[in-house]
Structure 1
Amino acid sequence: MARASTHPRSCGLKHRGFGRRFALLLMPLLVVGCAWGSSSETRTGDRAVPDPDASENVTFYPTYGYLEDDEWVVPVRYWVWEDRGLVSRVVTRVASSMAGLEPQQVETFRHRLRPFSGDSEWRQRVTFVFEDDPLGQEYQVLDERGRAPRTDRNGVVEGKVRIPAQRAEELLAAQGSQGGWLRWEAVSRDHSGTGQAILVPSEGTSVISDIDDTIRITEIPAGWSVAVRNTFFDEFREAPGMPELYQEWDGEGDVLFHYVSGTPWQMYESLSEFLFHEETGYPEGTMHFRTVRKNLVSISTWRDLRSLVSAGAETADRKYEVIAGMMEDFPDRTFRLVGDTGEGDPEIYRSLARRFPGQVEEIVIRDITDDRTLRPERLEGMTVIPAETIERATGPDAIVADLRWQPQSVRVLW
């Protein structure tokens, strides 16, 4: 069921120049804020006081497992962090004064800001157990050398967990798993969080889906002001007809879903709440987003901030490599690639089809810029879903997409 925004489209922005300035200001504010003050805090008058009993959040991002010989290999990414209430309040106040927000928009922004303003915890090592495991066996994410790394300065660990195939079957049975999902929870001291991974059969069909303007209305071609409003301030809206299409595919029985987007990982919580809510109705799946680091002393942070306010080749390179990696993990599966014309999805997907000609079953593109009329060569050989046309913005507010992208030099890893 589609849910319209409670705010008119013009609401909440003083003028069109706001969007890019807000995007340029938001992340530096958070970077500086997260270098200031205590991680978890209570208030005594006007003074922030550390809370020694605060638990650290562990966000495990939904992932998949692939079978390698007699083991399931599960790539895992997790983030250890604490709420930063004071920073959130300050940034919300600044944004409200810039944008002239209504009360509901302020609350929406505060909720979506929470992971951006969270304090990343350094040198943490998380231990977890699978739910309902009668053995209670503890696991840790391992790096390529087989060691359990600690979180980096951005609070993140990336690595793999290996589970013997027979053991995985026992865990699935113990959990009464539906669809091959395995669930776990953090048990290390002062850590709180749950995660899940789907064990993907070697054969079948995977839908790899973009998010912005493919299944959620973002209106990126309309420019920064509109895209920022739809991302941070207004209620999310599903793209008309797309939940029903995905439900139809889900009903085929052997279809799994992977959501790959240039959206920052910090949007994971808000987007998953929306996409997989029963009123929205998208099938649950794995999530693969973009890294936006916040550590003040890292040059990578400033590179990430630069890419956050551009639609350059780095985002397309990263998207291409993530999808290519999944295709390499599952050489006997076929893939439906679903995107839109607002950015470089047709070019990325066409390049993947050339590289993996036997695996790409179909490319489905939601045409939001009337490319079927203006640039039909972009959509040649693809299944086109006509959509309401979004006029491309011009001038400083425009988000310029690279429609001539080619997979030449991949410069950034996810």
Structure 2
Amino acid sequence: MLLSFLSLCLGLALAVPNPAPAPHPMVTPAPRAPALDSRDLIQEWDNYVNSVVSGLGSTVSNYIASGVPQFFQDLPTGKDVEAKLGIADRDLDAKPTQVLNLPAYGNYTDNGEWSVFVHGNVYKVPDISEGTLNNLADGFLIGTEMDEIPPNAQRQARNMTASIFVVQQGEVNVTIDFVAGDNGGGGTERGVIEAAGGSQMIQVPDETTDQGDFAGWLKMENTTGPNGGYLLRGNETNKIQTLEMHAQGTDSGNATAYLVPPRGTTIISDIDDILRVTKIWDPEEGVLNSFTRPFIPWLNMPELYAEWARTVDDLHFHYLTTTPEQATRNYMEFTFATYPLGSFDTRPLNFSDVTATLSIRKHLLDCIFETFPRRKFILVGDTSNSDVMKAYPQLAKDHPNTVQCIWLRNTSSTDYTYRFPYNTSGFEGLPASQYMFFRVPDDLKGLDLAGGSCVNTTFAQNVSFGMQGAALGSDAGGMAVLRSGIWAMIAALLVTALAV
């Protein structure tokens, strides 16, 4: 399934290449014990992590190594949900089919057509009593229980849990109804306009998988819209055109398709601890921020994104999270209520084994890069995610003329609870003008996106290539903090695994 999804994403994107367009605050360290050589520190870190996780199995070991939040891994699906709830297929027969339809991106092909990559999931929601939801939610919480949190937090925990315990529907045909706007106008995003034509219904070529996933490239016809409007050709505009998308047979499958021209700038943004406060490195806080607390933005990041959307003519936002599909609705509702509109990627349920889960980010990044080989990309993430720390610099090396900037939040510089080192070795060899480790959103203010500016020169980067992490420190005390954090994480992972 992993290879088939990747082949679909890349193969069809490559089959319709884009033509050339017409002109047109640092933590104060504790008193230090005798310092260890940095090489000894790295070796001690490696030896310690390996010794601790070696007996816990490859799943836990790989998740720890990749900074993936365990509480959103190995979630039950399909028959497992039915078994856990004690229900059968017949109990769902009368339930309406629901669709998670992810905001899609489309590219302009060498045949003069727009092609849209649609993807999502089909499922049914079983009847689950409040008492059962409370018990299920207790299995996710760390350091507290449902009866110990306020009523509003309980409601959120039940809602999140209910979104996880759904039953995916295989062998379903999905038809997407594309609807054009009627005024050709845009919103606050300067680079976005409503498509004036292109309304049509298209069936996704393949049925849903046994996990309810669907994905496919749909070729658009340039049908006439309201007031005689039509789709603008991709080589005649630098604006992103939007079409409403509705999944037929359900009122839950509404989303937006973004027709993205071959040239322009795309910001690919992580969500956790960049757009919202998650603290995935702290298991208890990560769970509470994801299950029981309202999603809140990280500092003034919304102001920054809104400014970019208002001032850059050809800007496309693409949001990417490795959160599995069951938890995606909360992420999308928060993102689009707080940040500029844009396309969205998450982890399909077919990517369920450990290897696939830990590589999905790279696959999704490869897909959008191959789809838009002539666009410039700005990659935004944070140092707590080792997948990002590997994938982003590698993309810059694989696509030297495509990656414009890499911006990484230096988590350890502003959050005293972050105590894990991060590895910057992947950035060795890249021009220092191409990447920046920032502390707060204001560090990114004033950069000229359209002009290719990536670095705020008012503060020094001082990046060395290898293990970093000022909050850890190269000392025995730092290693003790690190060990304590590792043990806390492992305990949380085991609690979660046993509960689920």
After superposition, residues 120-135 of structure 1 pair within 5 angstroms as: 120-131=168-179
Q: Is the 8 A contact 1:76 1:158 kept in 2?
A: yes
Determine the structure 1 residue equivalent to 2:301. Answer: 242
Determine the structure 1 residue equivalent to 2:202. Answer: 139
Larger fraction in strand: 1
1:397 aligns with 2:474: no
Determine the structure 2 residue equivalent to 1:335. Answer: 377
Please report how far the alpha carbon of residue 156 of structure 1 lies from its aligned counterpart in structure 2 after TM superposition: 1.5
The verdict on how the C-alpha distance between 1:96 and 1:105 changes in structure 2, with shifts beyond 3 A counting, is: farther
**SS of structure 2 residue aligned to 1:150:** coil
1:326 aligns with 2:387: no
Please report how far the alpha carbon of residue 39 of structure 1 lies from its aligned counterpart in structure 2 after TM superposition: 6.1
d(CA) in 2 for partners of 1:22, 1:239: 22
Structure 1 counterpart of 2:134, one-letter code: T
Please report how far the alpha carbon of residue 240 of structure 1 lies from its aligned counterpart in structure 2 after TM superposition: 1.0
Please report how far the alpha carbon of residue 241 of structure 1 lies from its aligned counterpart in structure 2 after TM superposition: 2.2
Please report how far the alpha carbon of residue 92 of structure 1 lies from its aligned counterpart in structure 2 after TM superposition: 2.9
Structure 1 counterpart of 2:223, one-letter code: R
d(CA) in 2 for partners of 1:71, 1:184: 18
d(CA) in 1 for partners of 2:211, 2:224: 31
Determine the structure 1 residue equivalent to 2:272. Answer: 212
The verdict on how the C-alpha distance between 1:25 and 1:259 changes in structure 2, with shifts beyond 3 A counting, is: closer
Structure 1 counterpart of 2:119, one-letter code: R
Determine the structure 2 residue equivalent to 1:183. Answer: 244
Structure 2 counterpart of 1:239, one-letter code: W
Please report how far the alpha carbon of residue 333 of structure 1 lies from its aligned counterpart in structure 2 after TM superposition: 0.7
**SS of structure 2 residue aligned to 1:276:** helix
User: CA-atom RMSD, angstroms?
Assistant: 3.8
Structure 2 counterpart of 1:357, one-letter code: P
Please report how far the alpha carbon of residue 231 of structure 1 lies from its aligned counterpart in structure 2 after TM superposition: 1.3
Structure 2 counterpart of 1:73, one-letter code: S
Please report how far the alpha carbon of residue 105 of structure 1 lies from its aligned counterpart in structure 2 after TM superposition: 1.6
Q: Is the 8 A contact 2:381 2:407 kept in 1?
A: yes
Q: Is the 8 A contact 2:178 2:244 kept in 1?
A: yes
- Which of 86, 93, 99 is residue 58 of structure 1 equivalent to? 99
Which stretches in structure 1 are left out of the alignment for 5+ residues?
A: 1-19, 41-48, 143-148, 294-299, 308-312, 401-414
d(CA) in 1 for partners of 2:153, 2:266: 36
TM-score, normalised relative to structure 1: 0.72
Corresponding pairs, count:
344
**SS of structure 2 residue aligned to 1:184:** strand
After superposition, residues 130-279 of structure 1 pair within 5 angstroms as: 130-131=178-179, 137-142=200-205, 149-164=206-221, 166-167=222-223, 173=229, 179-188=240-249, 193-222=253-282, 224-251=283-310, 252-277=312-337
After superposition, residues 11-90 of structure 1 pair within 5 angstroms as: 23=71, 27-28=75-76, 32-35=80-83, 36-38=86-88, 52=94, 54-69=95-110, 70-86=112-128, 90=132
Q: Is the 8 A contact 2:389 2:423 kept in 1?
A: no
**SS of structure 2 residue aligned to 1:180:** strand
Structure 1 counterpart of 2:438, one-letter code: I
Task: Give CA-to-partner distance per residue, 1:60-102, whole Å, 9 cap, x none.
Answer: 1111001112121211113111112327752432434863232
Larger fraction in helix: 2
d(CA) in 1 for partners of 2:284, 2:297: 19
- Structure 1 window deviating more from structure 2 (167-176 vs 101-110): it is 167-176
